[in-house]
A and B are shown apart, each in its own frame.
Chain A
């Protein structure tokens, strides 16, 4: 098992942001984590990657308890995340940005810079290697975010909305990149709002609502699940859709 969560909870003041969440990810799988805004998806990512400490529950990465470990140690174990709000090292070049990730496994500056160029090629930002990261467009910053994480040589990659705000052509390009990463043996968990990407990329979908896991299953099944429709559109809309579907 790549990742296992057991009853993970976290609250902020009186608000229960993540409530008793438990699931597992199989080695080499690709899973989407969806849910309405404020469902607790990013909080869950923060808990898994050590940026937040859970109030309760356990998180196991490849069988090892990583609950409460600092983020840099979790990353060193091979569990790496990207940020929803991209966080480039603005005054460093694209090459230097990616090299920071590469340095996790490579001590030599020369080797890290060379590996950064290789990764940039894979992610499709090779032509911008010497540009300061602060000058990149949103689409390029998303790729950079992905490239940096990839350069650390992760075994499990958590991608937080790497497709938000991209146009259809950019979406197809980054989906191809993600398929390539997966083909390289990396297990993936992605938070995604772009349903087309969720449907085409993932094998399994986890649905989070009000901090709790309300459904999981293959994408087609999840899209038809009344609980999921209720979570997104409200109870009235769910009933109406089900009636219409029954009539058809």
Chain B
């Protein structure tokens, strides 16, 4: 119950930000931090809580982005309805990839490689068929109105991504406080021991990847609506897959606020790097790689783990 209160407090504290900060630059930064935090949380449900490291979350992200873009551009479907359909499509993609890889007992690096391969296959498909706009990509026509999921001010997008974060946090909270979550954690820790206690490891992992895929696809729709343009490299390229796993690893795997914390930290590092190193393309990726290696070597529990550790030490000293 304490963590439910913490979620409510964090969301309430973040809510008025666009009316307090009047710089578009900072609001954009906050939107990006929340956006990557949400993608990270979606990945965290499967990777952090479930221990199944996916390297191909772009498969879900891209499916979400393309579902809404294609339905809007070629069939004129309402963008808000597209958001829901994208979630369903992402969940279905998750179930499909999960069923194929978990049925054959793929774990660890094998699972990571298979997910990476799926994302690449989707990228190549999106590049070669006509209805995705192929290599040219898809441009969503500009029609600014809240009903059209295209807000005239950034505040609207901020509220949407904050709401999505609420959904992500609630999902994580549910995992921490339910039978399903207890089983997912047990499977992460030791699959055989979990099975011996009556846990259906296959179904548990399948449910986790379906949920993770659905949420990631919602992030894909948000991206499409915010930038109004997607192409195969953006939607299905490895960039999204890396960002989605980087953020929770930096923030703290399998923790409630880890992804959000990691995302905020990464956005700040990104800005600082831009100031120090200029706009040379690809430099931020070099930096991400270095940070990832350092985090895994020296802080395997992430920033959240560090915060918890130091607070425990502090309490230990005063006691």
Contacts and interface: CB of A to CB of B under 8 A. Distances in A.
Contacts of B182: 96, 99-100, 103, 109, 112
29 contacts: A51-B192, A51-B195, A51-B196, A70-B195, A70-B200, A75-B196, A76-B198, A80-B196, A82-B196, A87-B190, A87-B193, A88-B189, A89-B185, A89-B193, A89-B194, A90-B190, A91-B189, A92-B185, A92-B189, A100-B197, A101-B197, A104-B199, A106-B179, A107-B179, A109-B177, A109-B182, A112-B179, A149-B196, A151-B197
A89 B190 contact: yes
Contacts of A81: 196
Contacts of B186: 89, 92, 100
Which of B182, B189, B195, B196 is most buried by chain A, counting CB atoms within 10 A of its CB?
Answer: B196
Contacts of A88: 189-190, 193
A101 to B, nearest CB: 5
A247 B201 CA distance: 60
B139 to A, nearest CB: 47
B178 interface: yes
A219 interface: no
Interface in B162-196: 177-179, 182-183, 185-186, 189-190, 192-196
A75 B198 contact: yes
Interface string B34-57: 000000000000000000000000
A152 interface: yes
Interface in B193-222: 193-201
Contacts, number: 79
Interface in A61-75: 70-72, 75
Contacts of A87: 190, 192-193, 196
A149 B198 CA distance: 10
Interface size class of B (residues with CB under 8 A): 10 to 19
A90 B189 contact: yes
Contact of B198 (A72, A92, A109): A72
Contacts of B193: 83, 87-89, 148
A108 B177 CA distance: 9
Nearest to B193: A87
Contacts of B200: 70, 72
Nearest to A113: B182
A83 B182 CA distance: 20
A9 interface: no
Given A89-B186, A92-B185, A103 B196 contact: no
A195 to B, nearest CB: 27
Contacts of B178: 109
A71 B189 contact: no
Contacts of B201: 72
A96 B182 CA distance: 8
